[in-house]
Amino acid sequence: MHPTDALYDFAQRYLPGGVCASARANAALGHPFYVSRGDGPFVYDLDGREYVDMCLSHGASLLGHNHPRLKAAVQQALELGIICSYETEHHSRLAARLAEMVPCAEMSRFAGSGTETVMHAVRLARAVTGRMKLIKFEGHFHGYADSVYHSSAPRVDQAGPAEAPITIAESAGMPAHERELVIVVPFNDPVALEQAFARHAAESAALILEPVNYDSGCILPEPGFLQTCRALCDRYGMLLVFDEVLTAFRFHPGCAQGYYGVTPDLAVLGKALGGGVPISAICGRREVMLGYRPTGDCEHSGTYLAHLTTVLGAVAALDEYSQPGFYPRLNALAERFYAGFRELIARSGVPMQLQTMGPRFGMYFGVTEPVRNYRQAARQDRGMLLAFVRGCIERGVYFHVAAHHGLSAAHTEAELDRALAAIEGALGDVARGAAL
Ligand SMILES: Cc1ncc(COP(=O)(O)O)c(C=O)c1O
């Protein structure tokens, strides 16, 4: 039996579905993509075969794998005693660093996953406004907490009219009353948003959104749309919350808010913040953040919050992102890759859209017009996507079947050219109807 099949058999005995996170089940392969280690732009499978990684820990590993600066930071935390549940000088230094880099980040708190931090951001918004509803956009994902895990990827035939979507719980086991607190609006539709505010703002704490909707591939906010979100929140006394779990430090040192020049009241930063160590941050305006205990009355605490390993890791990652030329090089590398990818798409005749922002991108197979909201993204032909992913993996390039993909600062033109060669082959598979 091949080692992958043996491990999958074994894993299924002890882990539901053979995985530790549902998203790691891989529909293109029929088993998880097992990795033995990672290094720079590569991951290695159980046989030691090398793959150019275009998933990058779902966006966390913006520096690639095994980065020496990050390793040194983790090593330092080990030498300091693997301490947790204590405050150190490094914690407030990290918060001060965020205040320098990120426009809204007058104050910060830290936790592990993005899910956890979004949950805390929602509680804080409710605590300081005294209102319980949330307005969110269809196709925007904010983690798995019951308060927000709605309409991030609903079945379109169940989701009601495009201009007034029904709120859909994304998992069994979520209490129905949570759904009643979430108002769902189509992205990039200022008229529908104004209507939602007019109807629900008096009872709503916050508008929460991904400023770039990578979780539906890569949907950019249309010119002026983020400003409309800001203006409506100001007019109705609601908080604007940017979920920057994916956009944090992705293409600009000030995150999406720095790039677009729209400052939210609160933001959640994750993934690239730690570059692969599990840390996320909630940051925001001083008077809102002081709503947390002990200055306010909103709870945010926990044994493992802001573990020193992750705090030092985040400082190291921010040091890298602050190097002169980091973003120009990364963004230029990405643009060169996208130009090659677009040429291959045109040559292959595969109907698809490639949408990009900085070093992360979305692919919409079978879609022939630019995608500006979730309903258009949901028209994607999943069979074609699976065939493409399979074709790339066979040729030594790892794509996940998730909505967004990317490259890291560890990638060079050489690895991206290898990726393009595999993509050319995989597009050929798709064109030949491998999906069918
Ligand atoms: C925009 C966004 N918010 C929240 C989350 C949840 O973060 P985590 O996976 O760290 O819990 C994700 C994760 O994919 C995300 O993309």
Q: What is the pLDDT of residues 123-165, one digit of tens each?
A: 999 999 999 999 999 999 999 999 999 999 999 999 999 999 9
CATH code of 264's domain: 3.40.640.10
How far, in Å, from the CA of 144 to the mean position of ligand 1? 8
How far, in Å, from the CA of 113 to the mean position of ligand 1? 7
Question: What's residue 434's pLDDT?
Answer: 56
Task: Give, using CA atoms, the residue closest to atom 7 of ligand 1.
Answer: 114
Residue at a domain's end among 321, 336, 357 = 321
pLDDT band at 419 (very low <50, low <70, confident <90, very high): very high
The closest of 142, 98, 90 to 119, measured between CA atoms, is 142
How far, in Å, from the CA of 340 to the mean position of ligand 1? 29
Question: What's residue 2's pLDDT?
Answer: 86
Ligand 1, atom nearest to 58 Cα: 14
Question: What's residue 28's pLDDT?
Answer: 87
Task: Give, using CA atoms, the residue closest to atom 16 of ligand 1.
Answer: 246
Ligand 1, atom nearest to 278 Cα: 10
| One domain for residues 164 and 286 | yes
**What is the rounded distance in angstroms from the CA atom of residue 162 to the CA atom of residue 374?**
9
pLDDT of 202 > 50? The answer is yes
Task: Give, using CA atoms, the residue closest to atom 9 of ligand 1.
Answer: 114
Torsion 147-149-151-154 (CA) sign: negative
pLDDT tens digits, residue range 318-358?
999 999 999 999 999 999 999 999 999 999 999 999 999 99
The closest of 235, 142, 131, 123 to 184, measured between CA atoms, is 142
CB 430 within 8 A of CB 348: yes
Which tokens go with 131? Answer: 């209102």
pLDDT of 91 > 60? The answer is yes
| One domain for residues 261 and 343 | no
Ligand 1, atom nearest to 210 Cα: 1
Task: Give, using CA atoms, the residue closest to atom 12 of ligand 1.
Answer: 143
| One domain for residues 72 and 84 | yes
Arithmetic mean of pLDDT, 196-204: 98
Flag whether 5 is in a domain: no
CB 244 within 8 A of CB 253: no
| One domain for residues 217 and 341 | no
Q: Which residues line ligand 1 (CB under 6 A)?
A: 58, 113-115, 118, 141-143, 210, 215, 243, 245-246, 270
Most ligand 1 atoms within 8 A of CB, residue of 57, 170, 245, 277 to mutate: 245
| One domain for residues 97 and 182 | yes
Flag whether 296 is in a domain: yes
| One domain for residues 223 and 337 | no
Flag whether 173 is in a domain: yes
Arithmetic mean of pLDDT, 283-306: 97
CATH code of 389's domain: 3.90.1150.10
Flag whether 103 is in a domain: yes
How far, in Å, from the CA of 269 to the mean position of ligand 1? 9
| One domain for residues 86 and 208 | yes
Which tokens go with 112? Answer: 């592990």
| One domain for residues 156 and 222 | yes
Ligand 1, atom nearest to 280 Cα: 10
Most ligand 1 atoms within 8 A of CB, residue of 170, 246, 400 to mutate: 246
Task: Give, using CA atoms, the residue closest to atom 5 of ligand 1.
Answer: 143
**What is the rounded distance in angstroms from the CA atom of residue 309 to the CA atom of residue 306?**
8
φ, ψ dihedrals at 303, nearest 5° = -60, -45
Sequence-ordered list of residues with C-beta below 8 angstroms from that of 82, at least 6 positions apart, any chain: 308, 309
How far, in Å, from the CA of 299 to the mean position of ligand 1? 21
CB 97 within 8 A of CB 315: yes
pLDDT of 242 > 50? The answer is yes
Mean pLDDT score across all residues of the chain: 97
Percent over 70 (pLDDT), the chain:
99
**What is the rounded distance in angstroms from the CA atom of residue 66 to the CA atom of residue 80?**
21
The closest of 237, 215, 55 to 148, measured between CA atoms, is 215
Question: What's residue 435's pLDDT?
Answer: 44
**What is the rounded distance in angstroms from the CA atom of residue 152 to the CA atom of residue 238?**
22
Most ligand 1 atoms within 8 A of CB, residue of 148, 271, 273, 401 to mutate: 271
| One domain for residues 407 and 299 | no
How far, in Å, from the CA of 348 to the mean position of ligand 1? 33
pLDDT of 271 > 50? The answer is yes
How far, in Å, from the CA of 79 to the mean position of ligand 1? 30
| One domain for residues 156 and 57 | no
Ligand 1, atom nearest to 244 Cα: 1
Provide the number of structural domains found in the chain.
2
CB 337 within 8 A of CB 407: yes
Question: What's residue 69's pLDDT?
Answer: 98
| One domain for residues 311 and 393 | no
The closest of 400, 403, 406 to 371, measured between CA atoms, is 403
| One domain for residues 294 and 367 | no
pLDDT tens digits, residue range 357-403?
999 999 999 999 999 999 999 999 999 999 999 999 999 999 999 99
- Please count the other Cβ atoms lying within 10 Å of the Cβ belonging to residue 96: 13
Q: Which domain does 343 fall in, by range? A: 35-66+324-431
